[in-house]
């Protein structure tokens, strides 16, 4: 999709690209607004915590394009890109997005839900780190084998099954925050709400890709080096849907959706993105030796730090804690350049 959009937009004059950038920002913001509103409505319709909706439906929708791109890359012989994409997304989602959301507004944590999903989030990160270890493969680096990929997909099915089961158990206790003034159409079906949610996810993802391609082309035309664009704009663009959704969720005082979305996205980046890419690659996903110096340790550090913040006393992630997560992310970015 990216190549098609880029190839189509490159023929546009710069002034038209600026107009497309403005329009894409409007569509992106509106799509995120609809996504948050319909997800909240669905949580009330089902009577389950907003964090569960964020950790399942929202995160599955926002992670689906990454999985499809990773599988296509693997089939075209670029299997190692899937691993870097997944690990980088976990670090950016947990450090940049949660950190920024905590700095911008109230970021509550549903203790019951995060105790379940949070354990899976950390366990998935540890599982990925173990699968990358080189002691089972030849060479300096490691290899996430096809068998490991199939195992990840089996675990993904179990995760989805138990998430649905937990949501039904939670629903027995009634919806959270029942005193909020939330309007849910009496005759609106769950199916219609889910269709609206995925339509909004589509708006967010497509407008994000158009925005990033437009900005990239414009940046090249004004003389910004390709290396700078690749290291900043493109890396940032992959997390843009989650970022805008999180900011809109916090702005509307539904920070649980932001937390749930990131927790679910981290889990799916391992089980779905890496799992599907490794499963379709006969030789597995190659793990570069330098990943053990920075990428994998940073992923584990940021996951354990986030887990510590969610288990402490208190029901939210505070601004100082958000600042710590942001600090880890920016140190990680700096070290990427220092260790080139």
Give the per-residue pLDDT at 185.
Answer: 46
Which residue in 241, 257, 256, 270 sits closest to 120, CA to CA? 270
* DSSP class per residue in 290-327: GGGTTHHHHHHHHHHHHHHHHHSSSSB--HHHHHHHHH
Q: Which pair of structure tokens corresponds to residue 242?
A: 């989650």
In this predicted structure, what is the pLDDT of residue 171? 53
Residue 301: predicted pLDDT: 96
Listed range (109-118, 221-230, 304-313) with the worst mean pLDDT: 221-230
* CA–CA separation, 236 and 321 (whole Å): 22
Higher pLDDT, 298 or 284: 298
Question: Of 71-80, 91-100, 226-235, 306-315, which one has max mean pLDDT?
Answer: 91-100
Residue pair 262/93 in contact (Cβ under 8 Å)? The answer is yes
**Percent of the chain scoring above 70 in pLDDT:** 81
Q: Quick check: 57 pLDDT over 80?
A: no
Instruction: Give the pLDDT score at 60.
Output: 76
Domain ranges of the chain: 54-173+223-338
**Local confidence band at 231 (pLDDT 50, 70, 90 cut-offs):** very low
Mean pLDDT, to the nearest integer, of 62-69?
69
Confidence of residue 167 (pLDDT cuts 50, 70, 90): low
Class of domain 54-173+223-338: mainly alpha
* From 215-224, 245-254, 292-301, the region with the lowest mean pLDDT: 215-224
285-287 and 142-144 beta bridge pairing: antiparallel
Query: Above 90 in pLDDT, residue 152?
Result: yes
Least confident of 48-52, 166-170, 237-241, 261-265: 166-170
pLDDT of residue 230 exceeding 60: no
The pLDDT, as a whole number, for residue 158 is: 92
* Whether the predicted pLDDT of 90 surpasses 50: yes
262 against 55, higher pLDDT: 262
Read off the pLDDT of each residue in 21-41 and give the average, rounded to a whole number: 79
Does an H or E element contain 188, and which? Answer: none
pLDDT at 124 over 80: yes
For residue 304, is pLDDT > 90? yes
Per-residue pLDDT averaged across 256-279, rounded? 88
- Counting Cα atoms < 13 Å in the Cβ hemisphere of 255 gives 20
Q: Is the model's pLDDT at 100 over the cut of 50?
A: yes
C-alpha–C-alpha distance, residues 223 and 107, integer Å: 39
Residue with tokens 């981290």: 266
């Amino acid at each position: 999709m990216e190549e098609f959009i880029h190839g189509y937009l490159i023929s546009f004059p710069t002034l038209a690209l600026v107009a497309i950038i403005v329009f894409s920002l409007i569509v992106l913001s509106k799509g995120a607004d609809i996504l948050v509103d319909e997800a909240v409505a669905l949580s009330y319709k089902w009577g389950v915590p907003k964090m569960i909706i964020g950790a399942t439906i929202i995160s599955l929708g926002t992670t689906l394009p990454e999985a499809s791109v990773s599988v296509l890359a693997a089939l075209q012989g670029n299997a190692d890109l899937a691993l870097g994409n997944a690990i980088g997304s976990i670090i950016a989602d947990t450090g940049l997005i949660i950190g920024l959301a905590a700095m911008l507004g109230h970021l509550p944590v549903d203790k019951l839900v995060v105790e379940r999903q949070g354990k899976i989030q950390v366990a998935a990160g540890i599982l990925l780190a173990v699968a990358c270890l080189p002691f089972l493969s030849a060479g300096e680096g490691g290899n996430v084998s096809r068998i490991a990929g199939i195992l990840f997909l089996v675990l993904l099915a179990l995760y989805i099954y138990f998430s649905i089961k937990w949501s039904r158990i939670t629903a027995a206790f009634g919806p959270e925050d029942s005193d909020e003034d939330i309007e849910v159409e009496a005759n609106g079906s769950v199916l219609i709400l889910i269709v609206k949610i995925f339509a909004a996810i589509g708006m967010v993802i497509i407008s994000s890709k158009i925005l990033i391609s437009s900005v990239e082309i414009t940046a090249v035309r004004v003389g910004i080096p390709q290396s700078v664009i690749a290291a900043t704009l493109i890396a940032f663009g992959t997390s843009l849907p989650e970022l805008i959704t999180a900011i809109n969720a916090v702005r509307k005082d539904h920070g649980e959706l932001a937390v749930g979305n990131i927790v679910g996205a981290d889990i799916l980046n391992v089980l779905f993105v890496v799992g599907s890419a490794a499963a379709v690659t006969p030789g597995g996903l190659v793990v570069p030796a330098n990943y053990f110096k920075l990428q994998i340790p940073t992923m584990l550090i940021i996951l354990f730090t986030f887990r510590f913040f969610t288990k402490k006393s208190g029901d939210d992630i505070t601004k100082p804690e958000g600042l710590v997560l942001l600090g880890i992310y920016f140190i990680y970015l700096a070290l990427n350049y220092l260790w080139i």
